[in-house]
């Protein structure tokens, strides 16, 4: 029996607020699935275009790989940004240092996740930082 050549599989994670996206990149024909749905059916047009930025910057590399993304938690925009980061990281790992530098030059969040979080609400306040107004006299 002939051994099948090991296929290179790249797994990456992207995060935004509490949304977490896990991307798996394999050699293929350019198909993208998000939560087992075709890319064209996920989210709004604006969010798809935001995710597509990484694919456009990578050029022909995007047509030679299949990407499967699992995303959960957070809102739809946070999920889109997490997906964008996960796909960008996977493509940068596949494409090498030159593509990584190109991504960082265009938008750093394609490779480096945005670590900012919502501030928790404090007890006795209406918002995280808003306190009741105090009278001086």
133 pLDDT above the threshold of 90: no
**In this model, does residue 54 exceed pLDDT 60?**
yes
Residue 4: what pLDDT?
Answer: 53
Rounded-to-integer distance, Cα 70 and Cα 37, Å: 10
Domain limits, the chain? 10-110
pLDDT at 132: 85
Residue 1 predicted with pLDDT over 50 = no
* pLDDT digit string, tens, across residues 88-121: 999 988 888 888 998 888 988 888 888 888 889 9
pTM of the model: 0.82
CB 25 within 8 A of CB 95: no
Q: How confident is the model at residue 6 (pLDDT cuts 50, 70, 90)?
A: low
Q: Would you list the DSSP string of 34-87? A: ETTEEGGGSS-HHHHHHHHHHHHHHGGGGGGEEEEEEEESS-HHHHHHHHHHHH
| pLDDT reported for residue 117 | 85
C-beta separation of 45 from 81 below 8 A: no
Reported as a pLDDT band with limits 50, 70 and 90, residue 76 is: very high
Q: Which CATH class is domain 10-110?
A: alpha beta
CA distance 55 to 49: 10
């Amino acid at each position: 029996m002939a051994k099948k050549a090991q296929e290179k599989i790249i797994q990456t994670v992207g995060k935004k607020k509490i949304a977490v996206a896990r991307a798996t990149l394999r050699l293929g024909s350019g198909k993208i699935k998000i939560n087992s749905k075709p890319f064209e059916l996920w989210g709004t047009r604006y969010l798809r275009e935001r995710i597509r930025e990484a694919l456009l910057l990578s050029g022909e590399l995007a047509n030679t790989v299949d990407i499967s993304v699992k995303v959960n938690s957070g809102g739809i925009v946070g999920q889109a940004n997490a997906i964008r980061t996960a796909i960008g990281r996977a493509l940068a790992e596949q494409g090498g240092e030159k593509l990584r530098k190109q991504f960082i030059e265009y938008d750093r969040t394609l490779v480096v996740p945005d670590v900012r979080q919502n501030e928790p609400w404090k007890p006795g306040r209406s918002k995280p930082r808003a306190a009741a107004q105090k009278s001086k006299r």
